[in-house]
């Protein structure tokens, strides 16, 4: 077991005191030490293969250089891009990302967050916020800089990096109207989370602005942003007997659930019913039929969340202010084969 090189080794090898070595090695304080000495220390450190011990440093500086991120569901293909985007930005600044998932369960969320806090993460990125989300006491007390991503809450002033869902829903509604659809249903995601509620409100607004009545009977809510929940919700819609020629689903997974429900009843997509999704998940272009959906730059979203957090980390006083993240990310419509002209009435 090769022995580990410590700062003391570097210092003695370079013939200086450890504090001088420390200063020489830290770019922030390097200016304070003699150029020639600094050069020598750097050279020795390099030669010995010195690696600062993050724990020792952190113990002093009271930071771990780790950021915690909580996602609702590791298996949902929506999150890897967000995660990857954040990770890349953070790593550039020397931070590592610790990930946890909470299965979209607020109770579990609290436990995961506690575990992260116990590890003294310097900041938190939450992709799991429920609208009624309340920060655990620990988070309030310790004031860990936190940013929300993808979802937001209405109760708190936490910076949130999200997509412009109102615009996104506008895109699909107008697309559908352009195809001649008038009776358009909406299978929403859980309206306890912002993406569910905002999309639902946007749907009503856009229907209205297109001069179409958003009949209450045409809106049903899925319990979760999952295929099975979408399937069940769509079943309810179908059972209710209202007629419609298109479905705007709360996200791609729910849309897939609608596929299942529709197919089970022998309805064809898009000949009988057009379906749209939201997110443009990986491989959603390969399902049968390829799904018309709304695409968002998720990797960029993760990166933006990381940047926002980095700013908060730098200016501690911003911590609980509303840091205004850059404008909402703009969605784009991806037209595939799940939408077509409204069947002749």
Partner DNA sequence: CTGAAAGCGCTAACAA
Partner DNA sequence: TTGTTAGCGCTTTCAG
Q: Give the residues lining the site for a second copy (CB under 8 A).
A: 1-2, 4, 51-56, 58-59, 64, 66, 74-75, 77, 80-81, 83-84, 87, 91, 96-101, 115, 117-120, 141-143, 256, 282-284, 286-289
Q: Minimal distance in Å, beta carbon 116 to DNA?
A: 17
Nearer to a second copy, 240 or 315 (CB): 315
Name the residue nearer to a second copy (CB basis): 81 or 250: 81
DSSP string, 181-211: --SEEEEE--TTSHHHHHHHHHHHHHHHHTT
Burial class (CB in 10 A: 0-12, 13-18, 19+), 94: exposed
Q: Which residue has 């109207």 as its token pair? A: 177
Q: Which residues contact 46 (CB under 8 A, 6 or more apart)?
A: none
Regarding 121 and contact with DNA (CB under 7 A), the answer is no
- Of 292, 283, 287, which Cα lies nearest the Cα of 263? 287
E strand map for 114-183: 123-126, 146-149, 160-161
Among a second copy, DNA, none, what does residue 180 contact (CB within 5–8 Å per kind)?
none
Of 321, 25, 31, 331, the closest CA to residue 162 belongs to 331
Q: For residues 143 and 322, which CB has a smaller minimum distance to a second copy in the complex?
A: 143
Question: Should residue 288 be labelled a site residue for DNA when binding is judged by CB under 7 A?
Answer: no
For 125, the token pair is 């990125």
In the bound complex, what is the minimum distance in angstroms from residue 1's beta carbon to DNA? 12
Give 40 or 205: the residue with its C-beta nearer to DNA. 40
Q: Which of 2, 27, 49, 60 binds DNA (CB under 7 A)?
A: 60
Q: Which is nearer to DNA, 36 or 316 (CB)?
A: 36
Binding status of residue 314 toward DNA by CB under 7 A: no
**Which residues does residue 100 pair with via DSSP β-bridges, in sequence order?**
70
Sign of torsion over alpha carbons 181, 184, 189, 192? positive
* Residues in contact with 145: Cβ distance below 8 Å, sequence separation at least 6, in sequence order: 122, 123, 124, 309, 312, 313, 316, 319
Q: How far is residue 131's CA from residue 129's CA, in Å, rounded to a whole number?
A: 6
Nearer to a second copy, 32 or 56 (CB): 56
Binding of DNA by 8 (CB under 7 A): yes
Q: Is 19 in the site for DNA (CB under 7 A)?
A: yes
Closest approach of Cβ 293 to DNA, in Å?
Answer: 48
- Tokens coding 335: 């037209």
C-beta of 153: minimal distance to a second copy in Å? Answer: 22
What are the residues binding DNA (CB under 7 A)? 4, 6-8, 15-20, 22-23, 25-26, 29, 31-38, 50-53, 56-57, 59-62
């Amino acid at each position: 077991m090769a022995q580990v090189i410590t700062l003391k080794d570097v210092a003695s090898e370079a013939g200086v005191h450890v504090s001088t070595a420390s200063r020489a090695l830290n770019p922030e304080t390097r200016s304070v030490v003699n150029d020639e000495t600094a050069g020598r220390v750097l050279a020795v450190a390099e030669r010995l293969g010195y690696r600062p011990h993050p724990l020792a440093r952190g113990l002093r500086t009271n930071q771990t250089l780790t950021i915690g991120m909580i996602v609702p569901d590791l298996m949902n293909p929506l999150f890897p891009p967000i995660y990857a985007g954040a990770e890349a930005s953070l790593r550039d600044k020397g931070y590592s990302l610790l990930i946890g998932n909470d299965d979209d369960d607020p109770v579990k969320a609290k436990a995961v967050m506690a575990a992260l806090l116990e590890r003294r993460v310097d900041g938190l990125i939450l992709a799991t916020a429920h609208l009624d989300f309340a920060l655990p006491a620990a988070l309030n007390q310790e004031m860990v800089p936190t940013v929300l991503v993808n979802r937001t809450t209405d109760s708190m002033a936490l910076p949130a990096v999200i997509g412009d869902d109102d615009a996104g829903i506008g895109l699909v509604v107008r697309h559908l109207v352009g195809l001649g659809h008038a009776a358009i249903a909406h299978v929403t995601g859980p309206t306890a989370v912002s993406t569910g509620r905002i999309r639902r409100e946007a749907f009503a607004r856009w229907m209205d602005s297109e001069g179409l009545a958003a009949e209450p009977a045409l809106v049903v809510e899925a319990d979760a942003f999952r295929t099975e929940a979408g399937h069940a919700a769509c079943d309810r819609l179908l059972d209710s007997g209202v007629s419609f020629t298109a479905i705007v689903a709360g996200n791609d997974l729910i849309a897939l659930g609608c596929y299942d429900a529709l197919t089970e009843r022998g309805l064809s997509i898009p000949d009988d019913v057009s379906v749209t999704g939201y997110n443009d998940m990986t491989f959603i272009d390969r399902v049968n039929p390829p799904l018309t959906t709304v695409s968002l730059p998720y990797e960029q979203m993760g990166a933006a969340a990381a940047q926002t957090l980095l700013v908060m980390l730098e200016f501690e006083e911003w911590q609980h202010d509303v840091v205004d993240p850059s404008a909402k990310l703009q969605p784009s419509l991806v037209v595939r084969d799940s939408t077509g002209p409204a069947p002749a009435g």
